[in-house]
């Protein structure tokens, strides 16, 4: 049963027309990450770009785990009276989607999980947390100053730009993080945990993998197939973990082929 008191109303952007397609971003992301892909889908679907709990612009909440995030989405689907729902989830969003399939499978028509498995992941974001906590936002006046502060921890230009998308100006013109950095850090262990369903899930699921990503191995695929017997796997060439950013045209093609 949905625990109303624990759910939050999620911020979203709606565009296009047709059957509903909900898209979920990954850790440290926001709905804007998928805007380019969504723009290419508006002729075919009503696209809902969604900010997950403690990311983007939703109401912040000290608690954060996959069950709560899945229940937020159940509430979203119910509040918007959506039917025959298709859903895409990238990385952390993919795990939210898999949890949703575990507790509310009947709500989802087809699902696409982008570059994440059901296994536990052992860290990998420690330097990003250090970088974000190191910035004294009260004394930063320009984004270039924030980027310079991130540089010693995050040498990759693309990752720095990705993190900087979370900076927002307050009314007093000082910067703040849009995401709830403290809650995400506090609940980071839960975000990394495994998500082995307690039963087999027969909803059609397409797992999309980046050829240059190490997030999902061949062994992981075999394990996924046990729990998701109707799953299929598509590898996008010349793409890392952020497939939708590395190969947006190919990502759109994969989405159309699977959901049509």
Report the 3 state secondary structure along 12-24: EEEEECCCEEEEE
| CA distance linking residue 37 with residue 258, whole number of Å | 15
For 50, phi then psi, to 5°, come to -120, 135
Per DSSP, 93 falls in state H
Could you tell me how far CA 226 lies from the centroid of its own chain? 24
Catalytic residue among 25, 55, 90, 241: 241
CA-based nearest residue to 220, from 237, 205, 233, 202:
233
- The reply to whether 241 belongs to the active site is yes
- 91, 213, 231, 244: the active-site residue: 91
For 150: left if phi > 0, alpha if psi spans -120 to 50, otherwise beta; the answer is: alpha
Provide the token pair at 141: 């006046």
Closest listed residue to residue 96, CA positions, set 200, 38, 25: 25
Q: Has 91 been annotated as catalytic?
A: yes
Residue 158 and residue 166: Cα distance in Å, rounded? 14
Please check whether residue 206 is in contact with residue 258, taking contact to mean a CB–CB distance below 8 angstroms.
yes
User: Which residues are known catalytic residues?
Assistant: 91, 241
């Amino acid at each position: 049963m949905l625990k109303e008191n624990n759910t939050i109303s999620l911020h979203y952007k709606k565009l296009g027309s047709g059957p509903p397609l909900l898209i979920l971003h990954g850790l440290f992301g926001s709905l804007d990450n998928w805007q380019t892909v969504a723009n290419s889908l508006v002729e075919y679907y009503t696209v809902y770009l969604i900010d997950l709990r403690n990311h983007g612009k939703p109401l912040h909440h000290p608690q954060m785990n996959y069950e709560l995030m899945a229940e937020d989405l159940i509430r979203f689907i119910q509040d918007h009276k959506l039917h025959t729902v298709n859903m895409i989830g990238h990385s952390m969003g993919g795990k939210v989607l898999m949890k949703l399939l575990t507790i509310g499978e009947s709500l989802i028509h087809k699902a696409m999980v982008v570059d994440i498995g059901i296994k536990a992941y052992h860290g990998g974001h420690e330097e990003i947390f250090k970088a974000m906590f190191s910035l004294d936002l009260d004394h930063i006046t320009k984004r270039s100053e924030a980027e310079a502060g991130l540089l010693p921890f995050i040498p990759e230009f693309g990752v720095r730009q990705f993190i900087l998308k979370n900076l927002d100006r307050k009314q007093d013109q000082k910067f703040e993080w849009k995401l709830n950095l403290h809650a995400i850090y506090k609940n980071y262990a839960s975000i990394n945990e495994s998500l082995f369903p307690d039963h087999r899930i027969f909803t059609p699921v397409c797992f999309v993998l980046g050829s240059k990503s190490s997030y999902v191995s061949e062994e992981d695929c075999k394990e996924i197939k046990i729990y998701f017997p109707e799953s299929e796997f598509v590898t996008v060439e010349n793409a890392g973990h952020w497939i939708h950013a590395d190969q947006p045209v190919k990502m759109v093609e994969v989405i159309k082929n699977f959901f049509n």
